[in-house]
Structure 1
Amino acid sequence: MARRDPSPPKDSPASAEGAADAAEEGYLTGQLLVAMPGMSDPRFARSVICLCAHSAEGAMGIVLNQPLPSLTFDDLLAQLKLDPVPPARRIRLTQGGPVEGGRGFVLHTADWETEGSLKVTTGLALTASIEILKAIAEGGGPRQGVLALGYAGWGPGQLDDEIQGNAWLNVPADEALLFAEQPDQLWRVAMSRLGIDPSALSGSAGHA
């Protein structure tokens, strides 16, 4: 299994046009990766990852279904000294991946953006700034979002090789999957979207 700890690809699509170009080239920006049952890396067992960038330079994504039970949104606001605490609204937290685990990223609907937001698709963006946390705490911000600590990253060709090696399936993303209220069920739900019964798969089964 290829390692998943390089820096994000230098030429990550930073606009809707870039994301569209990546999709046209056969890349999977904006789709969900779903780990096969035989995933050999325990950090990604039964993981569902939103690919925020995928190109010839590599890929980066956010794991959606590894909750952070030891840290709450209120705790994070307090640590960052952001008001108000308690906040007017909250979003759930997830362990986004093994790279830069102390850095926060909000994956969110694109109805709210700020300078530096990465446009993943027409309706989806990724923001790593204090402004979005403050906006959410005050009751505003994007309609839907999830706060990730860290991310998953792949170097040039690594993810493509893993997909060819049957480590991952891919499924189109929608808000029900991206912002699932029960992340512990997300892997099975994503599998069912593909018409797959996980119990019927072996680690060497084919890929989408």
Structure 2
Amino acid sequence: MRHPHVGDLLVASADLLDPNFAGAVVLIVDLDEEGALGIVLNQRTPLLVADALPQWADIASEPGRLHRGGPVGVDGALALGRVRESGAEPIGWQQIVGDLGLVDLDTPVEMMEGALASFRVFVGYAGWGSGQLEAEIAEGSWYVVPCEAGDAFVEAIEELRRHVLRRQPGELAWVSTRPADPELN
């Protein structure tokens, strides 16, 4: 069992039936002894960034929609951005992994224009208390795998779980082809 770190992905196993996380791919953005915080990457909403945060609409990556980051704190938003230049750290951007980081939505947009190659806004987040995530991993609800910076910005988010699992070594690559209900196989 791989222990999670900031910048890892949690990929829901077929055994995870919680409707908030069934089929989810979650990026861990904070992790300490008090718990973990993550952003669900593959749940899009019908809402436009332009309607909720018009000042950020021009730099939002396609399709310009808000994404559902998780069931906690749905009255707030978190944003992820990829910097254009490797090693660049614009004000208001905090690295997670590689050129992927959190974007502070209180930062003036003008400071981010031109600095970000990709930008996406997520409503809410996923949260776990102390020891809760580790227990869910131990019971087989989550696979812990490395993140690639582009995972947060794929357009075909319905394929993200399968794509992430397929690139893993060994048995996890096989899991990517498993149907949700193995009895239908």
RMSD between aligned residues: 2.5
Q: TM-score, normalised by structure 2?
A: 0.78
Q: How far, CA to CA, are the matches of 2:122 and 2:130 in structure 1?
A: 23
Give CA deviations for 1:143-179 in whole Å, capped at 9, x if unaligned: 1222111110111111011001100002211123221
1:28 and 2:2 aligned? no
**Match of 1:155?**
129
2:47 maps to 1:90: no
Preserved CA contact (<8 Å) 2:39 2:69: yes
Match of 1:175 in 2: 149
SS at the partner of 1:191? Answer: helix
Contact 1:132/1:141 (CA < 8 Å) preserved in 2?
no
Q: Which runs of 5+ in 2 are unaligned?
A: none
Corresponding residue of 1:103: 76
Per residue, is there more strand in 1 or in 2? Answer: 2
Assess, with a 3 A threshold, how the Cα gap between structure 1 residues 129 and 77 changes in structure 2: closer, same or farther. closer
**Relative to structure 1, is the Cα distance of residues 144 and 202 closer, same or farther in structure 2, using a 3 angstrom cutoff?**
closer
AA of the residue aligned to 2:175 = D
Residue deviations 1:66-114 (CA, integer Å, cap 9, x gap):
0011x11221234xxx38xxx5442242100111112111112254532
Question: Which position in structure 1 is the counterpart of 2:29?
Answer: 52
Q: Which runs of 5+ in 1 are unaligned?
A: 1-25, 204-208
* Count of matched residue positions in the alignment of Structure 1 and Structure 2: 168
Q: Runs in 1 of length 4+ with deviation above 6 angstroms?
A: none
What is the distance in 1 between the residues matched to 2:152 and 2:72? 20
User: Quick one: which amino acid aligns to residue 32 of structure 2?
Assistant: S
Percent of counterpart pairs with the same letter? 30
